[in-house]
Amino acid sequence: MIQFVCDSCGRVKEPSETWIVGTAAEAVGVTAARREVTIQSAWDRAIAVHPFAVHFCSIKCKDSYMAELFAPDSAAEERIVERTAPAEILVERSGAGQSITARTRTRKVHRTKRAA
């Protein structure tokens, strides 16, 4: 099961709700950083499951996120966000009567130095 969470307030999307979706990216160069957010005109599941997708439950949450992203010195509400990599990523693709499901599992590997 995939849950969509508002990137501003943390609310979980219900299947019947209409939300705002987009993609966000940041390119950090030697002399400057470029930030870009593209908001879609309608909810699109293909974009919503993209790794760079951003999800908002309301216009107020979208505006708050954008204010914080593009004007960090403004009076936007301060919040702490902790993100962790998912234990399992599910990718669903369908088209022309075919359905492909791929599962990827990630795990942490701890290595220790051996004494010589």
Token digits of residue 45:
């599941």
Between the ranges 24-33, 81-90, 101-110, where is the mean pLDDT highest?
24-33
Domain around 44: 20-83
Residue 7: what pLDDT? 92
Spatial CA neighbour of 8 closest among 78, 100, 96, 84: 78
Amino acid residing at 59: I
User: Does residue 102 lie within any of the structural domains?
Assistant: no
Q: How many structural domains comprise the chain?
A: 1
Angle at 70 between CA 68 and CA 74, to 5 degrees: 55
Residue 91: what pLDDT? 53
User: Does residue 62 lie within any of the structural domains?
Assistant: yes
Q: What is the pLDDT of residues 49-93, one digit of tens each?
A: 999 999 999 999 999 988 888 776 654 455 555 666 555 555 555
- In residues, how long is the chain? 116
User: Does residue 69 lie within any of the structural domains?
Assistant: yes
User: Does residue 56 lie within any of the structural domains?
Assistant: yes
- Three-class SS of residue 22? strand
Confidence grade of residue 1 (pLDDT, cut at 50, 70, 90)? confident
